[in-house]
Amino acid sequence: MTSPTRANPSSATALTKAHKAAVILSALSSETASAIIQEISDAHLKAFARAFSDLKSVPAPLLHAIAQEFLLEVEQSSAELMGGLEETKKMLASLAADDRVNRILAELHGGGSASVWKRLAASKPEHLLPFLQTQRRPIAAAIISKLDFEQAAGIFSIADPQYAHAILTELARGTPPSQEALNNLAAAIEEDFLKMQAATPSGDGVNEIVSEIINFLPSTKREAFLQHLDAEDKEIAQAVRRAVLTFQDLHFRLNEAGASALLRDIEKETLLKALQFGKTNASETVTFLMANVSKRMADQYSEEISNAEPISEDDGERAQRIIIRKLRELVQMGELKLIPPPT
């Protein structure tokens, strides 16, 4: 049977919605049409092509009639067009498959898998640890890689050392999961963890993640893990150790100019706490940093540290971590360079 469009109809009512959509798309400028086509699936594009191929020609009056019909439908709609995240989810759900909707929402602030990771970041380590322990090690490691470094370190601080070492080793060995894998993982976390609560990089990138987590561990646990990794896999252990940057390392990772640049960006209170605690865990770094301030200032710092109340391990290591975090920021901005660690 001959399609009605082959008769070259003279009115918009003789065309299907697919034909009308194809007509409007083809009438747009190439720039506008190209932007739309990039956002639609191959299946929809094939439907447009099939519908347009049915048409022999589209006279200007017919094109105007199709455009007017579209505008009339919009003007006659009695329903108010609602916006917002929830309405966006409903609209996308009616147009695309769930996995595609999740990928799109993941790119929006507060939506999709992006929202899952944000809410996961608000979870306490003691709540996250039991959930992680129910997962296979690669899955647990992938989840850990998406957490804030301090939050991840909090989990490992309360975990059984054998489990913590196993997951950190998995992190160091593994490759970063793809975005698709992370989206699927986010959906599982939503169902298996967050709802119950309410009722990827290169090898160097992986080692940097591991090193950042290690930096937030208490020094005793940090050294215990590194020793475990030495025994488990020498090659990976060396790569992780190269990526690790601690307060204890500063005396051989910075030159004098780098030390001066770093000290200019550190608040005095934080510096004094780090130096005070450093006398017990990083004496060479304390000597190095004090040598890179003026004698008057060094004497003042020494006097204030001598008169200060005893500092706790938590407060001291927290101050040292703040300095390391600032150092990494300065390195990323290109304001100073680190000296490579000895091999």
Domain ranges of the chain: 4-75, 114-242, 247-332
pLDDT band at 114 (very low <50, low <70, confident <90, very high): low
Instruction: Give the Cα separation of 287 and 101 in Å (integer).
Output: 56
| Secondary-structure breakdown of the chain: helix, strand, coil percentages, each rounded to the nearest 5 | 75, 0, 25
Higher per-residue pLDDT: 14 or 220? 220
Compute the radius of gyration of the chain from its Cα atoms.
Answer: 30
Q: What is the mean pLDDT of the chain?
A: 76
The CATH number of the structural domain formed by 114-242 is: 1.10.220.30
- When mean pLDDT is compared over 41-55, 144-158, 264-278, the highest value belongs to 264-278
**Is-same-fold flag (114-242; 247-332)?**
yes
Instruction: Give the Cα separation of 80 and 78 in Å (integer).
Output: 7
Helix (H, G, I), strand (E, B) or coil at 233: coil
Task: For domain 4-75, give the fold.
Answer: Annexin V; domain 1 (1.10.220)
Is the Cβ–Cβ distance between 89 and 101 less than 8 Å? yes
Tell me the per-residue pLDDT of 154-180, one tens digit each, with 9 for 90 and over: 898 888 888 888 888 888 877 666 777
Is the Cβ–Cβ distance between 262 and 336 less than 8 Å? yes
The owner of tokens 């709609």 is 77
pTM above 0.85, yes or no: no
Helix (H, G, I), strand (E, B) or coil at 216: coil
Beta-carbon contacts of 322 under 8 Å, excluding residues fewer than 6 positions away, are 266, 270, 274
User: Looking at domain 247-332, which CATH architecture does it have?
Assistant: Orthogonal Bundle (1.10)
